[in-house]
Structure 1
Amino acid sequence: MAPPPIALGDAENAINGPPVENENSNSTVLLIQKLTAEVIGTFFVVFAGCGAVAVNKIDGQVTFPGICIVWGLIVMVMVYTVGHISGAHFNPAVTITFTALKRFPPKEMAMYIIAQLFGAIVASGSLYLLLDPKPAHFYGTVPSGSCLQSLFIEIIITFLLMFVISGVATDTRAIGDFAGVAVGSTILLNVFVAGPVSGASMNPARSIAPALVMNNYKGIWVYIMGPVVGALVGGFAYNLVRHTERPLQEIVKTPSFLKHLSK
């Protein structure tokens, strides 16, 4: 029995590949997967981290070092879980910086930020329903001193976070397998240092979501401006030291080594 004749359209597909509609469909599915991963990842980062803060304020069982460890561990775990799907931003400041550095498509930036805010708000709302916290148990971030002090602390620690992320996640010379450990450890250290001062947000979504759920907006602008500025400066700073065409030992022997470092 002879095989059925191949239609003209089928022949074109066999030669030229699937139609553009299929490519667009695949791109849409991939984007949905990325956004879903960002929602889930941000949900668990906020649920675990803010949950540790809330539980500690309610019954004091977690302790401050415990809170620091929870933040570091949950970020590390989620980076390894969905980092290969969405890039594991979980943070509007990181998404904005990657976009500014042309390492992330601008058309996806707004959707990523919405996904992150949605995941954070759902997590904060879940904690509110499960734990029934009082105003004194606020698990958001508020300045312990002046807003200006917290602003500069947030800029500095987010600079460090973005500098580390840029190194381990975007530089092919780095050991990528340890990206989650490096990022999680940086967050743990930052919370240890800055937690008592500003709450160590480093993430606008982490601060905005509890503020919306518990109606506490004290110093909220600090936790929007600080992380964004710190991440942008940190990302651009790493770009300044990223590319060198010659070994450092050779560069420093020349009188124009600063010129070579800028290449």
Structure 2
Amino acid sequence: MKKLFAEFFGTYWLVFGGCGSALFAAGYPDLGIGFAGVALAFGLTVLTMAYAVGHISGGHFNPAVSIGLWAGGRFEAKDLISYIVSQCAGAILAAGTLYLILRGKPGFAIENTKAGAFASNGFGAFSPDGYSMESAFLAEMILTMFFLIIILGATDKLANGRFAGIAIGLGLTLIHLISIPITNTSVNPARSLSQAIFAGGEPLSQVWLFWLAPIIGAVLGGFVYKTLLEKKTEE
């Protein structure tokens, strides 16, 4: 149960900190943190929780990461469902908390006819810069694949594990710097689901892509690292 609570709280912090920075601070008049600030915020949530609870659960905070670690031979299939449920529960509770806070601002309303509504992900008219479904799918798949390669490499038994959280956190920051204009950056199905539930409308109908593409990318990343990059004992 401690592992599941660690995943719950870690994913809660990722959504609250990352999506919260987008909702509260990205466009704040004159002092907004912008895309770069939001990218850094997502990276910092993973970095901080990797050191806070990573030693308890492995610090996945992302269904695609759990699946990718399984594909890479680092995680047991029997724990997948419980981890994914915990991650989604943490993400949804975080989104609910963000919603309750935003309700305290006069005139608040979720405009789910526009890109990025409630920090949701999207493609086509719901992409921040109008990227197509195909572009969004490719970006999410490739970026998640490399995220898994970073995670597997940084946590390899031959790597310096003390710095794994830094590499992973900065990796997620870079991913957001690349792809916020494309999809508002997912690479995390739980993060996408939580925001889409509260946004509703088209963002919710598009959430399938932000499950499918990251999961495929994660499996590819796990397979690539395990078969092509991981140093075997006999080597």
- Tell me whether the two structures share a fold, i.e. TM-score over 0.5: yes
1:140 counterpart (115, 120, 124): 120
Q: How does 1:1-263 map to 2 (within 5 A)?
A: 32-56=1-25, 59-60=28-29, 61-132=32-103, 133-136=108-111, 137-143=117-123, 144=127, 145-169=131-155, 171-215=156-200, 216-239=203-226, 240-243=228-231
| Residues 55 and 62 in structure 1, CA contact (< 8 A), matched pair in contact too | no
Identity rate of aligned residues, in percent?
38
Question: Whole-Å Cα distance in 2 between the matches of residues 194 and 58 of structure 1?
Answer: 18
AA aligned to 1:44 is W
Relative contact order, higher structure (CA 8 A, sep 6+): 2
**Matched length:** 215
Partner of 2:114: none
Post-superposition shift, 1:206?
Answer: 0.6
Post-superposition shift, 1:37?
Answer: 0.6
Post-superposition shift, 1:219?
Answer: 2.3
Name the SS of the counterpart of 2:206 in structure 1. coil
AA aligned to 2:210 is Y
Q: Which moved more, 1:137-146 or 1:110-119?
A: 137-146
Residues 79-110 of structure 1: CA distance to partner in whole angstroms, max 9, x if unpaired?
Answer: 01101000000000111122233322222110
Post-superposition shift, 1:135?
Answer: 2.2
AA aligned to 1:226 is A
AA aligned to 2:53 is V
* Superposition CA RMSD, Å: 1.7
Question: Whole-Å Cα distance in 2 between the matches of residues 191 and 183 of structure 1?
Answer: 13
Larger Rg: 1
Partner of 1:251: none
Name the SS of the counterpart of 1:172 in structure 2. coil
Give every structure 1 segment of 4 or more consecutive aligned residues whose post-TM-superposition deviation is greater than 6 Å.
none
Partner of 1:28: none
Per the alignment, do residues 59 and 177 of structure 1 end up closer, same or farther by CA in structure 2, a change over 3 Å counting?
A: same
Residues 110-157 of structure 1: CA distance to partner in whole angstroms, max 9, x if unpaired?
Answer: 010000000000000100110135224421211222111100000111
Post-superposition shift, 1:198?
Answer: 1.2
| Residues 72 and 225 in structure 2, CA contact (< 8 A), matched pair in contact too | no
| Residues 42 and 90 in structure 1, CA contact (< 8 A), matched pair in contact too | yes
Residues 223-255 of structure 1: CA distance to partner in whole angstroms, max 9, x if unpaired?
Answer: 111110111111111112212578xxxxxxxxx
Q: TM-score, normalised by structure 2?
A: 0.86
Per the alignment, do residues 218 and 196 of structure 1 end up closer, same or farther by CA in structure 2, a change over 3 Å counting?
A: farther
Q: Which runs of 5+ in 1 are unaligned?
A: 1-31, 247-262
AA aligned to 2:139 is I
| Residues 92 and 203 in structure 1, CA contact (< 8 A), matched pair in contact too | yes
Name the SS of the counterpart of 2:204 in structure 1. coil
AA aligned to 1:106 is A
Question: Whole-Å Cα distance in 2 between the matches of residues 112 and 80 of structure 1?
Answer: 18
Residues 173-200 of structure 1: CA distance to partner in whole angstroms, max 9, x if unpaired?
Answer: 1111110100011111110011111112
